[in-house]
Structure 1
Amino acid sequence: MSLFDQRGQKVNYQYNAARDINFATVQNQADLVNELEKLNSEITKAGDAQVIDAEIVTDAQYQIQKAVDQSKKPAPNKNAIVEHLIKAKDFLKDIVEAGGIVTAIVKAIELVQQLF
């Protein structure tokens, strides 16, 4: 059994969306929208914990919201959704603490390719 000495560590934010955000369960357009909205909420939490700069939070959330809006359309434009998600990922990619969020965005991009 491994033991880890974590004394003195301070955790401001920990991405733990596995219990809340699960792109593996997405079966349709509505499921995708729901998970993307949860992802936006997770970005808010990271911003509130001051792990992500407020301006980056705004930019990333704007792009995810654009992807959500496009996904809600009767005939969504797959390329537009992917483009918005890539832009959101690019805003967050250099923030170590946002690694889990970036991974979730990559999974969302893969799903969009499959669903539409």
Structure 2
Amino acid sequence: MNAFAALADDTRREIVRLIAKNGELTSTEISQNFKISPPAISQHLKVLKESKVLHMKKVAQKRIYGLNDSGIHEMEHWLSDIKNLWNKRLDNLEKYLLKIKKERSSDRK
């Protein structure tokens, strides 16, 4: 599953927001912020880890989750590419509209 598909779920977006706000958290700390079962949260964490949105490290018996910079940068890069494509399209539209406006003003003279 890719990062965008993983983040299509409300609970997973809230998990990411929670970690972004608080820094690294254990799965228990994350679970305490939701009204769903810890096993359900574990499944969400698994999806986020597999999609490279989060990373997980084990410290003794604890699993600690944090944002995965590479996954976040990958999404950011994709969004930047889309934004640039739209900016180019809008620039072309502006040029075209200015051309039409200029042609209409010269026709009136």
Shared fold per TM-score greater than 0.5: no
More strand by share: 2
Larger Rg: 2
